[in-house]
Chain A
Amino acid sequence: MKVVPTLEGGLKVELEADHDIEVLEMILTDAGQPEVLSAELAELMEASDDWDELMSPELWEMFYGHLAIVGKAVKAAKELGSLHIEKSSGDAWYSALNQARLRLEREYQLHSKGDLVMEDDVSRNAYIRDRFYCTLQTLLLDFVMGLND
């Protein structure tokens, strides 16, 4: 897999190996249910009684929307042989990758486990995916997302 910035301010991910597309498809699997993330954030808002009821549905709908944009792009990549991340969908991509990383952290405590994370296959694979998603996020920050987007 090779990632290059485009002249239009987006990213192009060239798929080189058969499993590249599988890795990209894992973003949606790893992101899980956005309701969990919005409920977690609502728990922080003790100051506002009806926060969960009023704000959470709007939030998880938005998170679902971001996952849908990513799902559509990954599906198109299967046919094209390359993935195109448009500048206009940079935020959605960052959000979907973040949802995936937050869920992996919730599930496997990747950061607190340290080297222990390498001791079993499932955690190690989760760690490697987290690092890949993080690299993509860094590229999005460096080349796609800006103050005025």
Chain B
Amino acid sequence: MAATARRLESQFRLPMTAIPVLVPALPSVESAPFEAVEAFRKGLDVRIGAQLTSGSELLRALDLRRSEQVLPTALPSLDALLDGGLPRGKVIEIAGRGARLSVVIAALAAATSTGEAAALIDTGDAFDPQLGEAAGIDLRRLLWVRPRKLREAAAAAELVIATGFQLVAVDAGLPPLRGRVPDAAWVRLARAAEAHGTALLVSAPYPLTGTTSEAMLRAEPSRGQWRGPLLTGVDLALRLEKHRRKRPGGCARVQFRVAEAT
């Protein structure tokens, strides 16, 4: 095989200019490639061989890259706090009395605008489609599920994650929450999210997901901003209370404006 490759190389003068790469910055593939591809690669110039990728390697590399990717929320300060956005395959929780729903809608808008299908499990039935569209959500790609109880919300989230939605946002609504989800259900949800590469964003008035979440953000309550007699917006401070891979304590400040003021 190597000899054949060398013969081929001698017969066809390969250009020395940069070879276009379909998928830039592919991560290394752990498992050994097929022997034939490996042998062919050895027979080639090192630089050219490094660019040679078999179909199975490519698919595995894409899967790996996809699992390591994040879904940006398009809120720069929050994305910076979360190292790029909501990590795929992980649970991120926002708890507190701040403007949680606005963060959820921003994340849904960012995901659907890139062509991803997303789901909003809206336990409090609080979503306004008109304002959602104004916020940038591509409503055609949004599945709106309106359970009445938290237990139904968890069951619905599990179904939706298993279908392959890349962003699933569960909004638990306002206190008092209707019903309770056992801890085991959050473990199941976290495992399902990991298995399907789904970013699961949970928004609740107080922490629900326990140890299953990758990160927990505290949404601090704040006063409204008024210009004269008109409400113009609300400032939100999101404090990182827990993160599995970095030190907590960071804070992201986001300013949300009412639709009429933008």
Are A and B co-members of a single complex?
Answer: no
Report A's interface with B, CB cutoff 8 A. Answer: none
